[in-house]
């Protein structure tokens, strides 16, 4: 070491590949291999290669099997593949290697359910469409969330909200420093954005996505709590274990959704486009009947359950027959039940 300087290490191929990914969102495969094919729970998956199309005979999604690899496998900027080499103490990653547009990958941010459920728009009636991989995961395709990425997303969301409501002020104690805090902040701002777009513009798209996101989180949490309570003897069942767990989830999630709407100033109840456990009548027959979706936002009905429900089930048919004209029914189930647990059912005849 001369003049107090630390020897400079040559950048490894991995470091170059990582910076290329940050700039272009494209990976350089340094060790080509044949990835195992995952067959997706989607009526349009290609049985030959596992990829799915947007409609029968339609174009492919373009999703590569490697796109689901965890970003944690990628080398970190400034870290050589050889730990024996040293870097300058003043080393900083490439300032252009950031996020969004020409600065790298953006976070997953579906604004409509049609983006969360690929092919929902063009699917034939009664189709079952699985939730897209990572559609509700805010950390994006790389499954990584850095402080820089979180700060940029927060800034973007606040700007989008202020475009609709210039008087919006986000109450915060300062930038979050933990991964959990950053995720919660982004989720909260996305809900603020959905609420302001609905309240000010009547745009239900983002609200329908955020309702699904919050219901999924709430259902998963309630399911885990119900199992613990049942196994410890604090949750009694009059008929069966599944009934006790289902009733607990039903009570917990509905209460959370009501609090969520109230907190964001979203009017809900009889005569509103947003409802929690409201009676939806079918007046097309001589005898008026009704069904009760767990949540309804516009023309979307949401049903939380632990069982798998098909389009032929009377309850689902009742959603589609109701006067509010459901386009789809979203079935929200605990993610612990396995891949494809949450899905959408397209209205018959559409």
Q: What are 41-72's pLDDT values in tens digits?
A: 334 434 444 443 334 433 333 443 333 333 44
First-to-final CA distance of the chain = 73
DSSP state of 128: E
Chain-centroid distance of CA 120 in Å reads: 16
Per DSSP (E only), the strands in 5-62 are none
> Is the pLDDT at 23 greater than 70, yes or no?
no
Task: Provide the pLDDT for residue 259.
Answer: 98
Task: Provide the pLDDT for residue 85.
Answer: 32
Directed axis angle between helix 147-164 and helix 179-201, to 10°? 10
Asked if 164 and 196 count as a contact pair (C-beta separation under 8 A), the reply is yes
Q: What are 227-270's pLDDT values in tens digits?
A: 999 999 899 877 789 999 999 999 999 999 999 999 999 999 99
> Is the pTM above the cut of 0.85?
no
Task: Provide the pLDDT for residue 326.
Answer: 95
Which residue, among 235, 195, 234, 238, has the nearest Cα to 214 in the 3D structure?
Answer: 195
Task: Provide the pLDDT for residue 98.
Answer: 40
Distance CA 48, CA 53 (A): 12
Query: Can you tell me which residue has the tokens 């499954």?
Result: 143
Rg over alpha carbons for the chain, rounded to the nearest Å, is: 24
Distance CA 239, CA 126 (A): 32
Q: Which residues pair with 280 in a beta bridge?
A: 291
Cβ-based neighbour number of residue 150 at 10 Å? 23
């Amino acid at each position: 070491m001369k003049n107090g300087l630390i020897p400079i290490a040559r950048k490894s191929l991995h470091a170059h590949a990582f910076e290329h990914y940050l700039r272009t969102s494209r990976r350089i495969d340094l060790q080509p291999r044949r990835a195992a094919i995952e067959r997706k729970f989607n009526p349009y998956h290609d049985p030959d290669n596992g990829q799915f199309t947007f409609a029968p005979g339609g174009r492919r999604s373009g999703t590569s099997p490697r796109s689901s690899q965890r970003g944690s496998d990628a080398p970190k900027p400034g870290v050589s593949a050889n730990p024996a080499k040293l870097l300058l103490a003043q080393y900083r990653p490439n300032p252009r290697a950031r996020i969004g547009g020409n600065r790298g990958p953006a976070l997953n941010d579906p604004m409509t359910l049609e983006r969360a459920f690929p092919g929902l728009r063009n699917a034939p009636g009664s189709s079952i469409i699985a939730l897209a991989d990572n559609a509700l995961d805010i950390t994006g395709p790389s499954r990584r969330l850095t402080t820089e990425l979180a700060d940029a997303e927060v800034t973007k969301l606040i700007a989008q909200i202020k475009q609709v409501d210039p008087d919006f002020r986000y109450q915060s104690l300062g930038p979050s420093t933990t991964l959990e805090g950053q995720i919660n902040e982004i989720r909260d701002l996305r809900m603020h954005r959905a609420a302001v777009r609905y309240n000010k513009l009547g745009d239900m798209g983002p609200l329908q996505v955020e309702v699904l996101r919050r219901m999924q989180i709430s259902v998963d949490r309630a399911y885990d709590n119900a199992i613990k309570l049942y196994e410890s003897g604090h949750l009694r069942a009059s008929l069966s274990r599944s009934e006790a767990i289902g009733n607990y989830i039903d009570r917990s999630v509905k209460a959370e959704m009501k609090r969520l709407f109230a907190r964001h100033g979203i009017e809900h109840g009889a005569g509103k486009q947003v409802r929690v456990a409201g009676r939806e009548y079918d007046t097309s027959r001589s005898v008026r009947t009704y069904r009760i979706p767990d949540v309804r936002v516009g023309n979307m009905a949401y049903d939380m359950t632990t069982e798998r429900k098909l389009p032929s089930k009377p309850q689902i048919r009742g959603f589609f027959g109701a006067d509010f004209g459901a386009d789809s029914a979203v079935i929200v189930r605990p993610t612990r039940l396995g891949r494809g647990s949450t899905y959408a059912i397209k209205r018959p005849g559409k």
